[in-house]
Amino acid sequence: ATEISLFRFFGGCSDEYANVTDLSKAVGECGIIQVLANKFNAENKDGIVVKTQSVEWGVYYDRLSANVAGRTPPDIAVMHRSVLPNYQVRGLVEPLGKHFATVGVDVADFVPVAREGVSANGEIWALPFDLHSLLWHVNADLFVKAGLVDEKGQPKLPGSPEELLRHAETMKARTGKAYLAIPSQADPMPTWQYLSWVWQQGGNIVDAEKREALLESKESREALRLLNVLYAAGHANRKHDYTAAQQAFLSGEAAVLINGTWGVDVYAAQARNPNSALKNYVVRDMPNLYGKEAVWSDSHIWVLPKQSKPDAAKLKAALTFLKFLNDHNFHWARTGHLPVRASVLASAEMRALPHRSEYTRTATIATGLPPIQYQRALMDLLINELNSTWLINKPQDKALANSQRAASSILRRSRRR
Amino acid sequence: MNRTFGDRLILVLVIGAAFVWMMPMLWVLSLSLRPNEELVRSTAGILPWPKTLEHFATLLRVSLTPRWLLNSVIVAFGMTALTLLLSSLAGYAFARIDFPGRRAVFLLVMAGLMIPEQAILVPLHAMLADWEMHNTYFSLIAPRLAGPMGVFLMTQFFKAVPRELEEAAELDNASRLKIFWSVMLPLSRPALTTLGIFTFLFAWNDFLWPVVTATQPEMYTLSVGLGSLQGNFAMSEGLGFLMASAVFASAPMVILYVVFQRYIVQGITLTSGK
Amino acid sequence: MREPAMTVTSVQDAGSRPHGLARYRDALSGYAFLAPFLAFYAVFLLYPFGLGLWMSLHDWEIVGDYREFIGLLNYQELWDDPYFWEALKRTLQFAAITAPAATVLGLVLALALNGPLRLHGALRAVFFASNIFSVTVVTLVWSMVLNPDRGLIANGMRAVGLEPIAFLADQDWAMPALVVTTLWWVAGFPMALFLAGLQQIPPEVYEAARLDNASRWAVLRRITLPALARTTLLVVVLQTVMHLQVFGQPLLMTRGGPANSTRPLVQLIYETSFRDWRSGYASTVSVVLFVMMFCVALLQFRLSRQEGD
Amino acid sequence: MADVLLRDVRKRYGAQEVIHGVSLELKHREFIVFVGPSGCGKSTLLRMIAGLEQISDGEILIGGRRVNDTPPGDRGVAMVFQNYALYPHMTAADNMSFGLRNIGTPRAEIEERVAAAARTLQIEHLLKRRPSEMSGGQRQRIAIGRAIVRRPNVFLFDEPLSNLDAALRVQMRVELVQLHQRLDATSIYVTHDQVEAMTMADRIVVFRDGRIEQVGTPLEVYRTPANTFVAGFIGAPKMNLLETRVTAASTGRVEVALPGGRAELAVDGRALASGASVTFGVRPEHLRRTAGEGVFRGQVKALERLGRETLLHVTGTDGASLIATDTGDSPVRIGDTVALALEPGSGRLFGGNGAALPPAAASAA
Amino acid sequence: MADVLLRDVRKRYGAQEVIHGVSLELKHREFIVFVGPSGCGKSTLLRMIAGLEQISDGEILIGGRRVNDTPPGDRGVAMVFQNYALYPHMTAADNMSFGLRNIGTPRAEIEERVAAAARTLQIEHLLKRRPSEMSGGQRQRIAIGRAIVRRPNVFLFDEPLSNLDAALRVQMRVELVQLHQRLDATSIYVTHDQVEAMTMADRIVVFRDGRIEQVGTPLEVYRTPANTFVAGFIGAPKMNLLETRVTAASTGRVEVALPGGRAELAVDGRALASGASVTFGVRPEHLRRTAGEGVFRGQVKALERLGRETLLHVTGTDGASLIATDTGDSPVRIGDTVALALEPGSGRLFGGNGAALPPAAASAA
Ligand SMILES: Nc1ncnc2c1ncn2[C@@H]1O[C@H](COP(=O)(O)OP(=O)(O)OP(=O)(O)O)[C@@H](O)[C@H]1O
Ligand SMILES: Nc1ncnc2c1ncn2[C@@H]1O[C@H](COP(=O)(O)OP(=O)(O)OP(=O)(O)O)[C@@H](O)[C@H]1O
Ligand SMILES: [Mg+2]
Ligand SMILES: [Mg+2]
């Protein structure tokens, strides 16, 4: 038997799904990937055993780096598309184009945005797995109660910053509930929202060509201002962390939860529970406040880290598993993420999934960070700085100035090579 | 008498403080013995317990905890044994053998006391990466053998051993190695015990270096493994389990502490210098 | 007199002998006994220390093999780096609160528990016991104790009708929460050191004081405290050095947050190197940390020399 | 007037009694020395007088006042400890004035008293130094100075000289006695050194196992030990003690058998039957080699030539062994057989229980 | 045949010389005692003989063989240390056999030798115990046993009794001498206790500052000290030394002035002019209180009643002070004026440099 190691985040649920191989029983990111691995281990004919190592999301990349740096990389690892350049530029991941051809992964079936995300220098470097981005998860009942509905009785979302604030005031006045719930502490969510708004204004935070930071631009200031206005007015609780924000939404204390595609399945399931305070759950694409449609997005992708001692059997086993994952792309999409295979997107079973019709535009307006190195360092620093504007009332200009300076120093290395 | 009244008052106050001091541990112990379903409802109170040992069973059954325990045991014992050996050999040489350059070498070694582990964390990692030695028992143990504290303590101890003993052995035709092995080592049992316990405690609780060098779960020590669980298990679902793992990881230390308390206190007196 | 652990003592007085052949034999056996330790010392301490200095002059990535000599550019950047200054400030803040607090707490406990009763012994054991836990256990326990939903303190606050505080997520509470956690963890150690110091005061001195009509307060102020001066210095230094290296508590309890308010230097080193791959820069921060701690140790050395004999 | 009075004083540690009812009367300005083997309770008793140990039973009066419950500082006593117990971080002057400051003595008076004490002890040049900067003898003087400035009625000394070297000990011994003569106080001095006891005391109190064995002037204790214990404890080389039997006994004289002869002693033998077991004691210096008969014959097993005199270790035919003195240039050699004569009036007789037999009117040989 | 021979042995620590050329011949089976004040180099010399210290200069021969570069274990010497230096973790038997095991002595022989030594020292019942389970005296015996089993030619003792209490010390003193007589070895014994030196030695070697001051039998050293240093060092209470002047000198006799009279001594006074400064020495026991004139008159400043005798501290009118002995029941009181007579033939005279003046044929008073 060939044992290969799989390195991933998505949480640990090996106990809950200890021996489950029935995909229909699996819920959520963790459940589905766990059951996929179980199923593969149970059913593959080559005696391959995939050993999963699940690492907490917050320290995942530290761990991955440490493993790669320590010359003990896993055989397979999940990562975000935005991080790939770091590894690809340094030659730390296997090129996969040729291998995909051998094992029968059809590269042509990938939707273009996904394929481009994993391509560089005319080579494919990873298996794209999904496209995920921000959504507005909506408690329709509260919108009805606040009268924020269109003619069809559907929740009506704002079309400009001013309208957003008006709606939020209305919500507060009519229902006593907060308009927004957003994880604002130790979480990247507000930063992703901020990015979306920067892009909606036609701006950006880095110049990919010149490899320069643009954090003090007027678009950047405006996006940050809007966020802080919302917090200041009490339309979102600045102290919520991920769990608290989610809890506020599920218990009907907030009308909109800003969270990713991965939540759809979970919230839908919650809403079906008769005891739940959230009864009428719907999903919406990120509303366009500034004119240009855009929403932050990223992809989960699978890479085969370069081994210091290449092992053909393991490589083959890893590729077999990648093929298996690609074949089950649909099941991953059940989490709420968008599938990356055109054939899956178009399939009937896909269309049959709940709420999917409610955020069809996301696939087209999804925007990612430009392909530069050190994205993660950049994001971490941005998250910290932005958070501090509402958490400790750091002046917004100062936060952006600090970010600009730090980002420049990070990008320096990127410019050098 | 006034004096004794004051003493009693102080004693009462301290007993109260001790109770508060123990609360967190007792509470955690109690949590670890209650079923998760109950914990979801309420975590208040300490009694009644125990109600269930399921968390401990789970700990041993499905997780890597037994493996981490084994790693911790190997690392702690390995580090302790080797530290004792290296420190006593070197301490003996510094204390008792007159060789050229001794003073200079001793100063060089003692200068190492000034170098904190964090200062060499990064280069050490880079070095072991070059050797492709991460995630091995070697990488968990070897860098910790370089600390001069043990050598310092053993040097101090051997210096205090009456010189006559060694001279008597010399008159008894014993060689250097024989003197070291048959006379000095057995003599230094109290010092070795103390140093051993401290090394063991340190090894068992070590965090920063193992977290950096042990990146594969199979090679985690208990303290690193526990750290990784803290993130992976949301406090909501696996609270009892999480608390059980804390109890589990501390149990050996508590036992060690109870058994060797005398030496630990004695060791502190030793570190404070004599 | 007592010689603190950090002090370098001389080994000059080990006697003299060797003649001719014996001298040669001694040299040989001396180095033979030292060799095993010296090997580890050189390879795992001296060399990495030098390598660290060397790395700080580079753009040096922990992953891959990008290493470029950039002279003192890292140091220059460090000077301009608000994150570094923030972390430095937090580190100093943490040490400046925790070290004196642990010292005072240890002293108070030691004074209260320096009794002959069995009960005193048991209480000493209780206060010292928290010392033996690993940082992961301590942080786990205290994260739970401080948890705003179901923590011990939250339970208590709710019981008396107060709104629980999210200590670790609150800008104003996070640092004090870490300090309290740390005190609970370490205060037993200074206590034990002070107890050792108290044991060394001859009981006759107290008896003499009784004959001299000294009040409790006079005994404490004029006899006990002065006698503990050296121990106090030792404790303060050991604690300061220890808390300048704080890492596990913020990493595991607050991740350095909220809003960077609890990120210490070591965490900065760790993250810069292993998250951002900027090992050269991390080494630069390490060098600064080393210099700081070296200064503290030097200060102690000077003070204990003055205080000495 | 008794300055210190002990009435059936007892001390218990838990269930164990270590002082078994001691009664003693100390006169004003007396110099009393407590001697006894280690662990016999000398220090304990002293510390009870000082107030450092609780009195389990009985009572202690100082200057006529019952002090059982008086705190140490208020008893008018001062103590000099074996290891001096100086306050290590205070200067000598501060050490001496600490007690006075604690009771709020005016500053001027403190200075005057310290200066006076320093003059008496010739330690003026040491006043600014700390204990760690002084020699053992100097520290000892500071400790005494600390006691003096309090102007106590009773001085207590617990083996104050035992940490000093031999020469200094001899010197301090003389100085302490002279000091005592100048001061208006009673002194109680604990020692296990019998030379100190003999040379310093007005009266010696010999203790054993928490009980008083004998109280008397040094010469009384040396000459007429109350029992075999005191006989063996006081004097070096110690008194020879021989188990023997009474051969004849009358009101005023007793005759005992010795290996080599008989000895007649002037003790009251009325209670003794002929043949009763008794112990005959004689000090080595009272046994002299004689050309004639003597009371003891034996072989010299060992010789200790001390220069001024020679100690003969003589073993009799029946195995009894004793020590006699001879001149420094004694011609005796190991293996010689010698006869020993008793100096007139020097033997002592102890009954079966070890207690000395009551003396008769006159002595005989 | 000289068993141990030192030829101009010197010892330097760095630039400092602490043994300044010592030459000494020890005869086979002799018991030699080294005495001298602390720090005079006794231990150093002993350790050089043992091989524990390097010899800076000169040479040492043991049994005729030069051992300067022989390792300690091969010199045929055994040493008993002051603090016994037993291996604390070994039983008594193991302590004794360690050396033999190191040189591969057959097990049967080891056992036999240990048993024999144990019998000699009467420590058979202790063989299984560890040092911590024994009393001081028992440990001392084990240490001696360890030395015996090696059957050395030379026994070295470095203050072996100083850690014992007084009574045990006296007993061990006698036993050690008896042991020496049974064994076929030379013993070198270091002590600073002059009673030990006097009672144990065949010959005493008195050291001062790394030099030999005098070598001789105990009585020679006591009676005819070679100089004022030896005179003051040997004997307790020590010899009275008075600075005085020669009043008349001839070939066979010298007369000196004393406070209270004159004394005539039978020394060779040819080199002395009348009026020359000399030191007159007399031991306390040779000064007796007299009703008549005497050679010394003075006031009694202090009295030490030791029971068997009384020491009188007498100060003359010119401030010179000396000690005389009197009987135990001396009627003298402090403040009395007494006259002291010299016993015939007992005074000693030392020249300006401290060296004793050469004796004439006969002595006089
Ligand atoms: N705190 C205590 N608890 C129990 N027993 C004690 C205590 N202090 C003293 N003793 C016992 O009391 C007895 C008398 O002790 P003390 O110290 O008075 O003897 P000592 O005559 O002064 O002896 P030394 O000459 O050795 O000083 C001893 O048997 C001792 O063991
Ligand atoms: N290792 C050494 N380095 C320098 N000087 C030393 C050393 N060992 C001894 N000395 C000096 O040599 C001299 C003789 O010391 P030694 O120990 O022989 O004296 P001692 O006669 O045995 O004294 P004591 O009676 O105190 O034991 C002393 O002045 C001592 O200071
Ligand atoms: Mg005592
Ligand atoms: Mg010596």
Work out the number of other CB atoms within 10 angstroms of the CB of residue E4. 24
Over residues B63-90, the mean pLDDT reads 92
Tell me, yes or no, whether C141 and C276 share the same domain: yes
Nearest chain A alpha carbon to B217: A53
Over residues C243-267, the mean pLDDT reads 86
Q: Given pLDDT bands bounded at 50, 70 and 90, which one contains residue C9?
A: very low
Q: Given pLDDT bands bounded at 50, 70 and 90, which one contains residue C144?
A: confident
Chain D contact for C218 (CB, 8 A cutoff): yes
| Residue C101 within any structural domain of the chain | yes
pLDDT, position B144:
92
pLDDT tens string B37-47 = 777 667 777 66
Tell me, yes or no, whether C26 and C91 share the same domain: no
pLDDT tens string E26-73 = 999 999 999 998 889 999 999 999 999 989 999 999 999 999 988 898
Which chains share 3+ C-beta pairs under 8 angstroms with E? B, C, D
pLDDT tens string C231-253 = 898 889 889 888 988 988 998 88
Tell me, yes or no, whether C170 and C228 share the same domain: yes
Whether residue B3 has pLDDT greater than 80: no
Task: Give, using CA atoms, the residue closest to atom 9 of ligand 1.
Answer: D44
Strand partners, C70: none
Task: Choose from D83, D89, D154, D155 for mutation: most chain C CBs within 10 A.
Answer: D89
Of C146, C131, C164, the C-alpha closest to C242 is C131
Whether residue B231 has pLDDT greater than 80: no
Helix (H, G, I), strand (E, B) or coil at C121: helix
| Residue C133 within any structural domain of the chain | yes
What stretches in chain D show pLDDT beneath 70? 1-2, 361-365
Tell me, yes or no, whether C156 and C12 share the same domain: no
pLDDT, position D168:
80
Whether residue C88 has pLDDT greater than 70: yes
Q: Residues 68-97, chain C: which have Cβ within 8 Å of B?
A: none
Tell me, yes or no, whether C209 and C163 share the same domain: yes
Tell me, yes or no, whether C161 and C295 share the same domain: yes
From CA C80, how far away is CA C83, in angstroms rounded?
9
Strand partners, E240: E282
Whether A186 and A178 have beta carbons less than 8 Å apart is answered as no
**For ligand 1, is residue D42 a contact (CB within 6 Å)?**
yes
CATH number at residue C279: 1.10.3720.10
Which residues keep their CB under 5 angstroms from ion ligand 3?
D 43
Whether residue C8 has pLDDT greater than 60: no
Q: Is C touching D (3+ C-beta pairs, cut-off 8 A)?
A: yes
DSSP string, D15-66: TEEEEEEEEEEEETT-EEEEE-STTSSHHHHHHHHHTSS---EEEEEETTEE
From CA C198, how far away is CA C110, in angstroms rounded?
8
Using CA atoms of B249, B255, B256, B258 in order, give the dihedral in degrees to the nearest 10: 140
Q: Which ligand is nearest to the CA of D35?
A: 1
Q: Given pLDDT bands bounded at 50, 70 and 90, which one contains residue B2?
A: very low
Nearest chain C alpha carbon to D152: C211
Ligand 1 atom with the smallest distance to the CA of D44 is: 18
Tell me, yes or no, whether C20 and C126 share the same domain: no
The two beta strands, E348-350 and E277-282, are antiparallel
**For ligand 1, is residue D192 a contact (CB within 6 Å)?**
yes
**For ligand 2, is residue E43 a contact (CB within 6 Å)?**
yes
| Residue C250 within any structural domain of the chain | yes
Substitution candidate for ligand 2 out of E42, E157, E163, E207 with most atoms within 8 A of CB: E42
Helix (H, G, I), strand (E, B) or coil at D255: strand
Tell me, yes or no, whether C143 and C17 share the same domain: no
C78 CB neighbours in chain A (<8 A) are: none
Whether residue C15 has pLDDT greater than 60: no
Tokens of D212: 């008083």
What are the structural domains of chain D? 4-232 (3.40.50.300), 237-364 (2.40.50.140)
Helix (H, G, I), strand (E, B) or coil at A356: helix
Q: Is A touching C (3+ C-beta pairs, cut-off 8 A)?
A: yes
pLDDT, position C102:
96
For residue C218, how far is its CA from the centre of ligand 3 (angstroms)?
28
Tell me, yes or no, whether C133 and C34 share the same domain: no
Q: Given pLDDT bands bounded at 50, 70 and 90, which one contains residue B262?
A: confident
Ligand 1 atom with the smallest distance to the CA of D207 is: 21
In this complex, which of A58, A381, A388 lies closest to C259 when CB atoms are compared?
A388
Using CA atoms of A368, A374, A378, A384 in order, give the dihedral in degrees to the nearest 10: 120
Tell me, yes or no, whether C17 and C86 share the same domain: no
What stretches in chain A show pLDDT beneath 50? none
């184009």: which residue's tokens?
Answer: A97
From CA A177, how far away is CA A186, in angstroms rounded?
24
The interface predicted TM-score (ipTM) is: 0.81
What type of residue is A372?
I
Tell me, yes or no, whether C27 and C154 share the same domain: no
Spatial neighbors of A199 by CB under 8 A, at least 6 apart, are A292, A294, A295, A296, A367
| Residue C218 within any structural domain of the chain | yes
The share of chain C scoring above pLDDT 70, in percent, equals 92
Whether B36 and B238 have beta carbons less than 8 Å apart is answered as yes
What are the structural domains of chain B? 1-52 (no CATH), 53-271 (1.10.3720.10)
Task: Choose from D44, D79, D113 for mutation: most chain C CBs within 10 A.
Answer: D79
From CA B247, how far away is CA B236, in angstroms rounded?
18
pLDDT, position D186:
94
For residue D86, how far is its CA from the centre of ligand 3 (angstroms)?
18
**What pTM, to 2 d.p., does this model score?**
0.82
Chain D contact for C219 (CB, 8 A cutoff): no
**For ligand 1, is residue D44 a contact (CB within 6 Å)?**
yes
Which chains share 3+ C-beta pairs under 8 angstroms with A? B, C
| Residue C63 within any structural domain of the chain | no
pLDDT tens string B13-42 = 999 999 999 988 888 888 888 887 777 667
């030691």: which residue's tokens?
Answer: C110
Whether B107 and C8 have beta carbons less than 8 Å apart is answered as yes
What's the number of domains chain C is made of?
Answer: 2
Q: Given pLDDT bands bounded at 50, 70 and 90, which one contains residue C11?
A: very low
From CA D81, how far away is CA D328, in angstroms rounded?
40
Of E257, E338, E264, the C-alpha closest to E298 is E338
pLDDT, position A352:
87
Whether residue C18 has pLDDT greater than 60: no
DSSP string, E157-201: EESTTTTS-HHHHHHHHHHHHHHHHHSSSEEEEE-S-HHHHHHH-
C143-165 in b/e burial notation, b at 16+ Cβ within 10 A? Answer: bbbbbbebbbbbbeeeeeeeebb
C205/D90 touch (CB, cutoff 8 Å), yes or no: no
Which chains share 3+ C-beta pairs under 8 angstroms with C? A, B, D, E
What stretches in chain E show pLDDT beneath 50? 1, 362-365
């008195």: which residue's tokens?
Answer: E206
pLDDT, position E236:
78
E218/D174 touch (CB, cutoff 8 Å), yes or no: no
From CA D297, how far away is CA D303, in angstroms rounded?
16
Tell me, yes or no, whether C142 and C249 share the same domain: yes
Over residues B142-148, the mean pLDDT reads 92
Range of the domain at C259: 74-308
Substitution candidate for ligand 2 out of E44, E83, E156, E208 with most atoms within 8 A of CB: E44
Nearest Cα of chain E lies from the Cα of C14 at a distance, in angstroms, of 13
Over residues C104-129, the mean pLDDT reads 90
